[in-house]
Chains A and B, each alone.
Chain A
Amino acid sequence: MKDLLSVVKSNRAVAENIYMITLALPESAGALHGGQFVNLATGDNSLLLRRPLGVCIAEGNELSLCYQVKGKGTKKLTEAKAGDELKVLLPLGNYFDLSEYKNIAVVGGGVGVFPLIAAIRENKDKNFYSYIGFRNKSAVCLLNELEASRSLKVTTDDGSYGDKGNAVQSFLADAEKLNIDAIISCGPPVMLKALKSGLASLGIKKPCFVSLEERMGCGMGACLVCVCKTSDGKNARVCKDGPVFEINSVEL
């Protein structure tokens, strides 16, 4: 783990309210895996919390992260220009460990697609079957990064792009005929809940790894701010024990 002073290379909108920021790191912070995240300063010193953003594209010492503009901090981040310097703490958290699997279903919703892209990019020898849902056409982005998938189905809630519906529905419709070893997923809590109950009702017992999101403090496991409930009634730290968990090991 290092706290590095990165230089912004580019920062542009990739969909409505969604930006991709590319940072040049002054040195290597080691391998960055899909599911891991970084804690990025916003550039406004009056905002004391960093923004935890999932690794999307990591190439050499360049790192691209995507974020949705939601509040003051992400709004401030949109103002970052090429050449600006931002502190970034990385790498943080665990990742989608796919070493034991060959055929993997990918179920992503909205901004949840970004860490999944990183997982697909770093596992070029595996077969991915991707089911990606967006709110509507204006939210659709980075589909080119998903083209490495064996199959790709895109849905929108309103049918304005791809099929009408959501990622979980389109995955579950195919699930029984897919010959997969594992599932990876990231998206809003309601989507992950639907996935969990859908898998249970179809009796699909393949391992399913989900990446969770929670408001964070330190981002490195010290402050116990970002906890989730585990199935055995304990707390797990989303930032340190996660953000990737087996879907049945956590309460959603």
Chain B
Amino acid sequence: MADLQVNICGVKFKNPVIAASGTYGFGREYNELYDISQIGGISTKGMTLEPRLGNPVPRIAEGTSVILNAVGLQNPGAEHFIKYDLPFLREKGLVIIANVAGKTLEDYGEICKKLDGLVDMVELNISCPNVRAGGMAFGIKPQSILEVTRVAKGGLKRTPLIVKLSPNVESIAVNAQSAEQGGADCVSLVNTFTGMVIDIEKRRPVIANNTGGVSGAGIKPIAVKMVYEAAHAVKIPVIGMGGIMTGEDALEFMMAGARAVQVGTANFANPNAMPEIIAQMNNWLDSRKIKSINEIIDTVIMN
């Protein structure tokens, strides 16, 4: 049994496999299938100060090895999370990362302040492609990333801040550096790529929102490259994600420089994906007599 523990910004994870925001709710449903205390952590469904209803349906479409979603930040609000979901997750003993979004800079500051000290980490969602105001609007230009990070950090005295980066940008390295300059303790990437699927019989996009965020196995090589670039542009830790379906996929991200990974779409294809990924990572390390997962982080040798 290899040691899978990682430490990110002083937060201890029993293993580096974290549920990605939006695919896992607040963990309750997956806990009906398996004990979610096995996974390293959860990044919650993206939360806002007030409850939101999200986009019209259909909210999902499929391509080859990818899916697209445009849920549009439907969530019960931060207050509801603190009252109903946080106590449940606390009992589970996994790292709780609150994924947060807002319409304005002030929203980001306020929601961070509300969650400060209550959760283990806050992940700033400035890269949601499916909402009109806020979301990705803050996550494209280096200067706005710096500003929103600074405001969020201002609301967090005790809880480390992760900034989740959009891949729909000119330079992921520059944007990661902007988050670092703004005071981020960590960056996570990639959020989804914007895309469209058209129903040729109806001559209309499948998703009511027309466009959605592309995720799943098909985006993995692009995500690995971006994680590599970000990890080598900043000193703060990087959490990698984008199309991880197996333990081997997760190891690729960690070799590229990620200290931990998030798993999202794989949960749809295989609802037991996360426990299986953890077991596969362990088996890979064991079979190569590698004692700790930390020994493989950032070990890719470029040609």
Binds A, one of B7-15, B231-239, B266-274: B266-274
Tell which of A73, A89, A222, A224 touches B74, judged by Cβ atoms closer than 8 Å. Answer: A224
With known contacts A220-B33, A224-B54, A225-B71, A3–B270 Cβ distance under 8 A: yes
Query: What 0/1 readout, one digit per residue, does chain A (44-70) give for beta carbons within 8 Å of chain B?
Result: 011111100000000000000000000
With known contacts A48-B62, A235-B54, A3–B271 Cβ distance under 8 A: yes
B29 within 8 A of A: yes
Q: Which residues of A contact B (CB under 8 A)?
A: 1-3, 39, 41, 45-50, 72-73, 87, 89, 214-228, 234-235, 240
Chain B residues lying within 8 Å of A227, measured Cβ to Cβ, are 54, 57, 59, 74
Can you spell out 18 A-B residue pairs with CB atoms less than 8 angstroms apart? A3-B272, A41-B269, A46-B65, A48-B62, A49-B60, A49-B67, A215-B60, A215-B206, A217-B69, A218-B23, A220-B33, A222-B30, A223-B71, A225-B59, A227-B59, A228-B57, A235-B53, A235-B74
The 8 closest A-B pairs by CB, nearest first: A222-B25, A222-B29, A215-B58, A48-B269, A221-B29, A225-B60, A225-B59, A220-B29
Chain B residues lying within 8 Å of A215, measured Cβ to Cβ, are 57-61, 206
- The smallest beta-carbon distance between B88 and chain A, in angstroms, is 14
Chain A residues lying within 8 Å of B290, measured Cβ to Cβ, are none
Closest A residue to B33 by CB, please name it. A1
- The smallest beta-carbon distance between B70 and chain A, in angstroms, is 9
Question: Whole-angstrom distance between the alpha carbons of A50 and B25 in the complex?
Answer: 18
- The smallest beta-carbon distance between B42 and chain A, in angstroms, is 11
Closest B residue to A228 by CB, please name it. B57
- The smallest beta-carbon distance between A105 and chain B, in angstroms, is 28
Residues A217 and B268 in contact, CB atoms below 8 Å apart:
yes
With known contacts A2-B33, A217-B60, A49–B269 Cβ distance under 8 A: yes
List 5 additional contacts besides A48-B62, A222-B28, A224-B45; criterion CB under 8 Å.
A1-B33, A3-B272, A217-B268, A222-B23, A222-B29
B151 within 8 A of A: no
Which B residues from 199 to 222 make CB contacts under 8 A with A? Answer: 206, 216-217
Chain B residues lying within 8 Å of A218, measured Cβ to Cβ, are 23, 29, 267-268, 271
Question: Whole-angstrom distance between the alpha carbons of A227 and B25 in the complex?
Answer: 14
Question: Whole-angstrom distance between the alpha carbons of A39 and B269 in the complex?
Answer: 10
Number of inter-chain CB pairs below 8 Å: 105
Tell which of B69, B216, B266, B270 touches A87, judged by Cβ atoms closer than 8 Å. Answer: B270
- The smallest beta-carbon distance between A239 and chain B, in angstroms, is 9
Chain A residues lying within 8 Å of B74, measured Cβ to Cβ, are 224, 227, 235
Query: What 0/1 readout, one digit per residue, does chain B (1-29) give for beta carbons within 8 Å of chain A?
Result: 00000000000000000000011110011
Chain A residues lying within 8 Å of B270, measured Cβ to Cβ, are 3, 87
Query: What 0/1 readout, one digit per residue, does chain B (30-42) give for beta carbons within 8 Å of chain A?
Result: 1011000000000
Chain B residues lying within 8 Å of A214, measured Cβ to Cβ, are 57-58
Chain A residues lying within 8 Å of B24, measured Cβ to Cβ, are 222-223
B192 within 8 A of A: no
- The smallest beta-carbon distance between A226 and chain B, in angstroms, is 7
- The smallest beta-carbon distance between A126 and chain B, in angstroms, is 30
Residues A221 and B60 in contact, CB atoms below 8 Å apart:
no
Closest A residue to B24 by CB, please name it. A222
B48 within 8 A of A: no
Chain A residues lying within 8 Å of B268, measured Cβ to Cβ, are 48-50, 217-219, 223
Query: What 0/1 readout, one digit per residue, does chain B (49-78) give for beta carbons within 8 Å of chain A?
Result: 000011001111110111101010010000
Query: What 0/1 readout, one digit per residue, does chain B (251-262) give for beta carbons within 8 Å of chain A?
Result: 000000000000
Chain A residues lying within 8 Å of B59, measured Cβ to Cβ, are 215, 217, 224-227
B265 within 8 A of A: yes
Residues B25 and A221 in contact, CB atoms below 8 Å apart:
yes
- The smallest beta-carbon distance between B71 and chain A, in angstroms, is 5
Residues B54 and A48 in contact, CB atoms below 8 Å apart:
no
Question: Whole-angstrom distance between the alpha carbons of A220 and B28 in the complex?
Answer: 10
Question: Whole-angstrom distance between the alpha carbons of A240 and B32 in the complex?
Answer: 12
Residues B66 and A48 in contact, CB atoms below 8 Å apart:
yes
Question: Whole-angstrom distance between the alpha carbons of A46 and B217 in the complex?
Answer: 8
Chain A residues lying within 8 Å of B53, measured Cβ to Cβ, are 234-235
- The smallest beta-carbon distance between B136 and chain A, in angstroms, is 19
Residues A223 and B25 in contact, CB atoms below 8 Å apart:
yes
Find the residue from A217, A226, A240 having the highest chain B CB count within 10 A. A217
- The smallest beta-carbon distance between B21 and chain A, in angstroms, is 11
Tell which of B58, B61, B271 touches A220, judged by Cβ atoms closer than 8 Å. Answer: B271
- The smallest beta-carbon distance between B272 and chain A, in angstroms, is 6
Question: Whole-angstrom distance between the alpha carbons of A143 and B64 in the complex?
Answer: 37
Question: Whole-angstrom distance between the alpha carbons of A47 and B265 in the complex?
Answer: 11
Find the residue from A1, A49, A221, A222 having the highest chain B CB count within 10 A. A222
Question: Whole-angstrom distance between the alpha carbons of A217 and B32 in the complex?
Answer: 17
Residues B23 and A89 in contact, CB atoms below 8 Å apart:
no
Residues A49 and B69 in contact, CB atoms below 8 Å apart:
no
Find the residue from A215, A217, A223, A240 having the highest chain B CB count within 10 A. A223
Residues B57 and A217 in contact, CB atoms below 8 Å apart:
no
Query: What 0/1 readout, one digit per residue, does chain B (287-303) give for beta carbons within 8 Å of chain A?
Result: 00000000000000000
